[in-house]
Chains A and B, each alone.
Chain A
Amino acid sequence: MSSAQPATIEQMKQNPYKPLLATIEEIVEETWDTKTFRAVFQDEEMREKFTYKPGQFQEVSVFGVGEATFCLASTPTRPGSIEFSVRKVGSLTDALHEMSEGAVVGIRGPFGNWFPYQEWKGKDLLFIGGGIGMAPLRSLLNFCLDNRDDYGRVDVIYGARSSDLLCYKTEFDAWRNSKNTNLFLTIDKEEEGWQHNVGFVPAYLNDLAPKPDNTIAITCGPPIMIKFVLQNLATLGFTDEQIYTTLEMKMKCGVGKCGRCNIGHLFVCVDGPVFSYAQIRGLPPEF
């Protein structure tokens, strides 16, 4: 794949540890513990030139607190700013959640590989997301919808424990209204006024029974969901090569040096985070 990211790659190659400064322009409260941040680079040239591919991640700094890894939840087809969704789970994410619009963060990236979307042209796509795991899928989904004619049918199965834990609600209509695109929502337990499916994501997948022919399935969510989604996809006839996911490992440097995200001879930050299930099967079971 050709490199279409001269400005950032150039800067990151000089010093991948030096963040680019960015200002938080918008904060969306997705759920009680998850916010989506839209950041704009302070450097005007970088604002224009910063580009990335769906599936890649970045390291976000809160200066004085530290850094954490977040996937890019926005799509490069909508340049000018980047977005990442943050669930409150520790000191760094706490600090991010306390930030207001106008605050300064540092951004390093984009790092890692990406979904091989160019190879998927002409194919049907099946997105299966759970909770905050929708973030990397959202990047790819919006990218594909912005290049709608490149892909066939797009089905999105998205679930959460309850309706208030679904992220990106404001985009649901845009997804539904795209050409040849379907959104299937599900929650674990019955709720008053809920008009969509009730049940776990893997079970809903079985009910919908998508056909594997010429289809790529992309899944991301809690490990337990992924485990059963993979099983059910196999039962539905999907091969390991037709299934993609992203792996989560502790990261620090993002560029394959610090050693934390090492699984077998691969580094999730360099060789991932996107893997086909066929690749994952070849890795030591340590993620």
Chain B
Amino acid sequence: MDKIVTKDNMAAWLRSLREKYEMIGPVKRPDGAPEFRDIDMMPPGIIPGGIEVALDNAAWLMPPKDYLLPPTETLFTYDEKDQAEPLKVPLAGDKPRLLLGLRACDARAIRVLDHVYLDGAFADPYYAARRKGMVMVGNVCDEARWSCFCTSVGEPVEWLKDLDAVITDIGAGFVVTANTPVGESLLDSSYLSDPSDQQMNLKVAAWDKLAAIPKRPFADKLAKDFLAWDDPIWEKYARKCLGCGICSYLCPSCSCFDIQDERVAGQIERFRCRDTCQTCYFTLMPSHNPRPEKKMRMRQRLSHKFKYQPEQFDIIGCTGCGRCVELCPVNLDIRQALAEVTPNE
């Protein structure tokens, strides 16, 4: 289902959705860079028009995973003095969340996270509680950033279909496309009307433009078994790796975590927090460390996304969002590394 909303009505429409949902979207920080945050927290008036809420692809953006996997999350508290029920699990909030401003790659990343956190014998209850009832609204990128490569790892237009609704900027207004019954319910608003054929053509053109982003030289290698274990690129590229975790902390689909205990205000809290395979501590055991060197850790990260996750879930774990490319302090560009890989026979 498609509807059209004028640029003037966009703000009013989004505001109306806030009655039902806790709205999270890319809001411009004072320094101009957008970040996903609770739109309710912004002072009234600063909201949209497609302006303060950044629905363009002009700047890199923190990934939306914070809202499914908070950087730090309490798993339970343990109170030694409470004899009856020492162990308590925090409850999730009940107002459903609407994530606004997701790009195709963000939608794909959430698909990857869904596999990791919901598949298998044990679903993750904390993730599941947030994911259930979460409404996802995205937008179509108007152009590729220098760091992006979504079309090299998949079909972003198909990824958009994972969203409940998709907003396409057609210049004079926004075409809003509902993919799900929830999406359709969002469109049930007096601020929206039926689009003309011409408007629909503009929407299709925008989607086609997304699909036509040129592929990178490595794209044709992305068969399942293209990363060779002993490829010299691991050594070559790891040499300049500083071993910080930026690539994985800011990756929308990286989701590994640590679990720790801490005493807070007389209570014991067990929490989980982000972790990264890029540090030697990730696999360090008292007896030995299976991945003591940088090159092994770099190989693990790329193999996990381009080889292991395809084998495990039949999905490439990398979404081509380009954050790791853009933010790596030494410009270690995984696209160059992948282009240099000599595929297995």
Interface set of A (CB-CB < 8 Å, partner B): 12-19, 21, 61, 63-67, 89-90, 106, 222-223, 248-250, 252-253, 255-260, 262-265, 270, 284, 286-287
Q: Which of B256, B260, B291 contacts A286 (CB 8 A)?
A: B291
Q: Are A262 and B87 in contact (CB under 8 A)?
A: no
Q: Are B304 and A262 in contact (CB under 8 A)?
A: yes
Residues of A within 8 A of B126 (CB): 17
Q: Are B86 and A260 in contact (CB under 8 A)?
A: no
Total cross-chain contacts (CB, 8 A): 114
B330 interfacial by beta-carbon distance below 8 Å = no
Q: Are B87 and A223 in contact (CB under 8 A)?
A: no
Q: How far is the CA of A21 from the CA of B296 in the complex (A)?
A: 39
Chain A, residue nearest B282 (CB): A260
Q: Are A258 and B258 in contact (CB under 8 A)?
A: yes
B328 CB to nearest A CB, Å: 21
A134 CB to nearest B CB, Å: 16
Q: How far is the CA of A14 from the CA of B125 in the complex (A)?
A: 7
Q: Which of A18, A21, A223 contacts B288 (CB 8 A)?
A: A223
Q: Are B125 and A258 in contact (CB under 8 A)?
A: no
**Which of A17, A18, A264 has the most chain B CB atoms inside 10 A of its CB?**
A17
Q: How far is the CA of A257 from the CA of B86 in the complex (A)?
A: 26
Q: How far is the CA of A13 from the CA of B120 in the complex (A)?
A: 11
User: Apart from A65-B261, A265-B307, what 10 extra A-B contacts exist at CB < 8 Å?
Assistant: A14-B125, A17-B75, A17-B272, A63-B80, A63-B261, A64-B78, A67-B259, A106-B87, A248-B285, A255-B122
Residues of A within 8 A of B124 (CB): 16, 255, 257
B14 CB to nearest A CB, Å: 34
Q: Which of A14, A16, A17, A249 contacts B283 (CB 8 A)?
A: A249
Given contact pairs A18-B89, A248-B287, A265-B311, A64 touches B263 in the complex (Cβ within 8 A): yes
Residues of A within 8 A of B285 (CB): 248-250
B285 CB to nearest A CB, Å: 5
Residues of A within 8 A of B303 (CB): 284
B62 interfacial by beta-carbon distance below 8 Å = no
B309-323: which residues lie under 8 A (CB-CB) from chain A? 309, 311-312
Residues of B within 8 A of A258 (CB): 256-259, 272, 275
B337 interfacial by beta-carbon distance below 8 Å = no
Q: Are B256 and A256 in contact (CB under 8 A)?
A: no
Q: How far is the CA of A249 from the CA of B288 in the complex (A)?
A: 9
Residues of A within 8 A of B277 (CB): 259, 262
Residues of B within 8 A of A18 (CB): 75-76, 87, 89
Chain B, residue nearest A62 (CB): B261
Q: Are B268 and A64 in contact (CB under 8 A)?
A: yes
Q: How far is the CA of A61 from the CA of B87 in the complex (A)?
A: 12
A interface: dominant SS:
loop
Q: Are B257 and A252 in contact (CB under 8 A)?
A: yes
B116 interfacial by beta-carbon distance below 8 Å = yes
Q: Are B76 and A17 in contact (CB under 8 A)?
A: yes
Q: Are A250 and B259 in contact (CB under 8 A)?
A: no
Chain B, residue nearest A111 (CB): B122
Chain A, residue nearest B77 (CB): A63
How many residues of chain B are within 8 Å of chain A by beta carbon?
48
B86 CB to nearest A CB, Å: 7
Q: B259-303 toward A: CB 8 Å interface, digit per residue (1/0)?
A: 111010000101010010100001111111011000010001001
B60 interfacial by beta-carbon distance below 8 Å = no
Q: Are B284 and A265 in contact (CB under 8 A)?
A: no
Can you show 13 pairs from A to B with CB atoms below 8 A apart?
Answer: A17-B75, A17-B126, A21-B86, A61-B261, A63-B80, A63-B270, A249-B285, A256-B120, A257-B116, A257-B124, A260-B256, A270-B120, A284-B303
Residues of A within 8 A of B92 (CB): none
Chain B, residue nearest A284 (CB): B229
Residues of B within 8 A of A13 (CB): 121-123
A111 CB to nearest B CB, Å: 8
Q: How far is the CA of A248 from the CA of B312 in the complex (A)?
A: 21
Chain B, residue nearest A254 (CB): B122
Q: Which of B125, B256, B259 contacts A15 (CB 8 A)?
A: B125
Chain A, residue nearest B126 (CB): A17
Q: Which of A64, A252, A255 contacts B121 (CB 8 A)?
A: A255
Q: Are B122 and A16 in contact (CB under 8 A)?
A: yes
Q: Are A260 and B268 in contact (CB under 8 A)?
A: no
**Which of A14, A21, A89, A265 has the most chain B CB atoms inside 10 A of its CB?**
A265
Residues of B within 8 A of A14 (CB): 125
Chain A, residue nearest B263 (CB): A64
Chain A, residue nearest B80 (CB): A63
Residues of B within 8 A of A257 (CB): 116-117, 122, 124, 255, 257
Q: How far is the CA of A264 from the CA of B311 in the complex (A)?
A: 9
A260 CB to nearest B CB, Å: 6
Residues of A within 8 A of B89 (CB): 15, 18
